[in-house]
Amino acid sequence: MLLPDLHTFMIFAAASLALYIAPGPDMILIASRSMGGGFRAGICANIGICIGITVHMLAAAFGLAALLAADPDLFQVLTWIGAAYLLYLGVKTILTARSGLAVEAKRPDTAAAMIRQGLFVNLLNPKIAVFFLAFLPQFADPSRGDPTLQILFLGALFNAGGFVFASGIALAFSRVGPWLRARPSVWRWQQILSGSVLVGLAVNLALPERR
């Protein structure tokens, strides 16, 4: 039986909701892209993030994430790569803001490019892989069937719920985007703020005491 008992499932649902609400690189990326490119941009980033979560879920289910947890050097390398990519996105956003309304005349990112951004931001954060390794197995009960199938099922539920929640975030922030674009100075400062947040997340991810 893949579904846990009601008590365990309620704990899983509550923990998942808490994780959805907690701000992080994924949610910041969706909000930032939705404000700049509308609902479509936010959904594309969301799709990329969900693909990344699926990869982490498979790794946790089949034990591959254990290699990451057991190898501090590999963990550190991936952490730095992830921090570098967030730093790149942040600096790029800040530099784009300097051009003001010229942003509107530029060719927007393609759907594939925005999906890749979401995917890379998610995959290049090793904290997520280690989190899934620690989080999902807690709700698997060997007495109820194959633990691997249970982890896959719970991971799929977590991913689906996260997609719905993040889509709501994308919709909310996309409504703010047109108002910002109609006000060039506010738009520029919003882009600078979004880029600065991404840079801050990159620094936070790279700090040894935060890992």
Q: In whole angstroms, how far apart are CA 187 and each of 1, 32, 168, 184?
A: 51, 12, 22, 5
- pLDDT for 98 equals 59
Rounded Cα distance between 198 and 29, Å, is 8
Rounded Cα distance between 51 and 37, Å, is 21
Residue found by looking up tokens 């956003």 in the block: 93
- pLDDT for 50 equals 95
| Sign of the alpha-carbon dihedral angle for 20, 150, 117, 77 | positive
Rounded Cα distance between 211 and 207, Å, is 7
Q: In whole angstroms, how far apart are CA 194 and each of 34, 158, 165?
A: 11, 27, 20
- pLDDT for 171 equals 94
- pLDDT for 52 equals 93
- pLDDT for 106 equals 45
Rounded Cα distance between 92 and 70, Å, is 34
Per-residue pLDDT of the chain (211 residues; tens, 9 = 90+): 566 778 778 877 887 787 777 667 788 889 888 887 889 999 999 999 999 999 988 887 777 556 656 677 766 776 677 678 768 877 877 776 655 444 343 455 788 999 999 999 888 876 677 667 767 777 777 677 777 788 888 889 989 999 999 999 999 989 887 776 666 676 677 667 767 876 876 777 677 554 4
